[in-house]
Structure 1
Amino acid sequence: MSLIEGLSGLNAASEQLSVLGKNIANSATVGYKSASVDFTNVLASHLNSANSGMSTQTGGGVLASNVTQSFSQGAISKNTSPLNAAISGQGMFVLKDPVLGNTVYTRNGQFTENSTGYLVNGSGYKVLDITGTAIQLPVSPNDVSPTSTQTYQVDTVAFTSSLSPYGTVTFGGLTYTNTDGSTLTAAEVAAIFTGLSAGDTSTTIAARSAAAVAAGGSANAAISSGIFSGVLGNFNTTTGTVPDTYLGMQLSAATQASAQPIAVTYDSYGPQTTISVSSSGFLTGSDPIVETTTAGTDYGYLNSMAIDTEGNIVGTYSDGSTYTLAQIGVAMIPSNTGLKQVGNDTWMQTSKSGVPVIAAANSLGRGTIVGSALEDSNVNQTTDMVALLAAQQAYQASAQVVKIENQIYQTLIGMNG
Structure 2
Amino acid sequence: MISGLYNGLSGIYASSSSVNVAANNISNVNTIGHKEDEISFQDMLYKNGSYGKGVSQESIEKTFRQGGIKDTSNPYDFAIEGKGFFIVNDTATGQSYYTRAGNFTESSDGTLVNGEGLVVQGVQTEIISTTSSNDIVAFGDTYTKHLASSIITQEDRTISINAKATDYTKTATDVGVSGQNYKSATSVVSDIEALKTDYNNKLKLLESNPNEVSVASTNQQVNLTYSNYETELTNTNDVVELYIGNQLVRQYFDTDALTTMNKLSDKISDLQGYSSSFDSTTGMLTIDNLIPGDNTKISSPTINSSVPLIEITDAVEGSGLAMVESARDALNGAVQLANAQFLDIQNGIPAPNQASLSLSDINLKITNLGLASYNDTSLSVGNDGILYLTQGTNTYIAGRVSTAYFPDEQSLKAEGSNLYSETSASGEPKNADLLNEMVASSVEVSNISVSTGLQKLLIAQRAFEANSKSITTSDDFLKTAIALMR
When Rg is computed on C-alpha atoms for both structures, the one with the higher figure is 1
Partner Cα separation in structure 1 for residue 162 and residue 186 of structure 2: 31
Structure 1 residue aligned with 2:95: 102
Contact 1:86 1:107 in 2 (8 A): yes
Within 5 Å, give how 1:101-250 maps onto structure 2: 101-130=94-123, 147=162, 151-153=166-168, 154-155=170-171, 242-243=184-185, 245=187
How far does residue 395 in structure 1 lie from its aligned partner after superposition? 0.5
Partner Cα separation in structure 2 for residue 299 and residue 44 of structure 1: 75
Counterpart selection for 1:59 from 49, 52, 66: 52
Which consecutive unaligned segments of at least 5 residues does structure 2 have?
125-137, 142-160, 175-181, 191-248, 252-262, 268-337, 343-371
Contact 2:35 2:63 in 1 (8 A): yes
Deviations 1:216-271 (CA, angstroms, capped at 9, x unpaired): xxxxxxxxxxxxxxxxxxxxxxxx974364997x9x959x89xxxxxxxxxxxxxx
Contact 2:15 2:463 in 1 (8 A): yes
Q: Would the alpha carbon gap of residues 404 and 310 (structure 1) be closer, same or farther in structure 2, given more than 3 Å must change?
A: same
Counterpart selection for 1:9 from 11, 16, 20: 11
Structure 2 residue aligned with 1:387: 456
Partner Cα separation in structure 2 for residue 333 and residue 87 of structure 1: 15
Structure 1 residue aligned with 2:398: 325
How far does residue 69 in structure 1 lie from its aligned partner after superposition? 1.6
Contact 2:172 2:188 in 1 (8 A): no
Contact 1:143 1:302 in 2 (8 A): no
With normalisation by structure 2, the TM-score equals 0.51
Partner Cα separation in structure 1 for residue 139 and residue 375 of structure 2: 6
Q: Would the alpha carbon gap of residues 99 and 11 (structure 1) be closer, same or farther in structure 2, given more than 3 Å must change?
A: farther
With normalisation by structure 1, the TM-score equals 0.59
Residue 92 (1) aligns with residue 50 (2): no
Contact 1:40 1:65 in 2 (8 A): yes
Structure 2 residue aligned with 1:275: none
How far does residue 302 in structure 1 lie from its aligned partner after superposition? 3.5
What's the C-alpha RMSD, in Å, of the aligned pairs? 3.5
Structure 2 residue aligned with 1:194: none
Structure 1 residue aligned with 2:429: 356
Structure 1 residue aligned with 2:258: none
Number of aligned positions between the proteins: 278
Structure 2 residue aligned with 1:304: 378
Partner Cα separation in structure 2 for residue 348 and residue 33 of structure 1: 15
Counterpart selection for 1:342 from 415, 425, 445: 415
Partner Cα separation in structure 1 for residue 71 and residue 473 of structure 2: 55
Alignment-mate amino acid for residue 358 of structure 1: N
Which is worse superposed, 349-358 or 387-396?
Answer: 349-358
Partner Cα separation in structure 2 for residue 305 and residue 59 of structure 1: 61
Counterpart selection for 2:470 from 401, 408, 412: 401
Q: Would the alpha carbon gap of residues 112 and 143 (structure 1) be closer, same or farther in structure 2, given more than 3 Å must change?
A: farther
Deviations 1:345-395 (CA, angstroms, capped at 9, x unpaired): 011111221111135x2x2xx111111111111111111211111110001
- Provide the secondary structure at the position in 2 that maps to 1:374: strand
Contact 2:379 2:389 in 1 (8 A): yes
How far does residue 150 in structure 1 lie from its aligned partner after superposition? 6.0
Structure 1 residue aligned with 2:301: none
Residue 374 (1) aligns with residue 443 (2): yes
Partner Cα separation in structure 2 for residue 120 and residue 346 of structure 1: 13
Contact 1:24 1:379 in 2 (8 A): yes
Partner Cα separation in structure 1 for residue 99 and residue 140 of structure 2: 32
Q: Would the alpha carbon gap of residues 246 and 388 (structure 1) be closer, same or farther in structure 2, given more than 3 Å must change?
A: closer
Contact 1:127 1:328 in 2 (8 A): yes
Partner Cα separation in structure 2 for residue 245 and residue 58 of structure 1: 101
Partner Cα separation in structure 1 for residue 139 and residue 114 of structure 2: 22
Structure 1 residue aligned with 2:33: 31
Contact 1:105 1:346 in 2 (8 A): yes
Which consecutive unaligned segments of at least 5 residues does structure 1 have?
47-55, 132-141, 159-239, 258-292
How far does residue 28 in structure 1 lie from its aligned partner after superposition? 1.0
Deviations 1:66-120 (CA, angstroms, capped at 9, x unpaired): 1122111111111211121111111111111234432111110001111111111
Contact 1:144 1:302 in 2 (8 A): no
Alignment-mate amino acid for residue 75 of structure 2: P
The runs of 4+ residues in structure 1 deviating greater than 2 Å are: 97-101, 142-158, 240-248, 293-303, 403-417
Q: Would the alpha carbon gap of residues 150 and 245 (structure 1) be closer, same or farther in structure 2, given more than 3 Å must change?
A: closer
Alignment-mate amino acid for residue 397 of structure 2: T
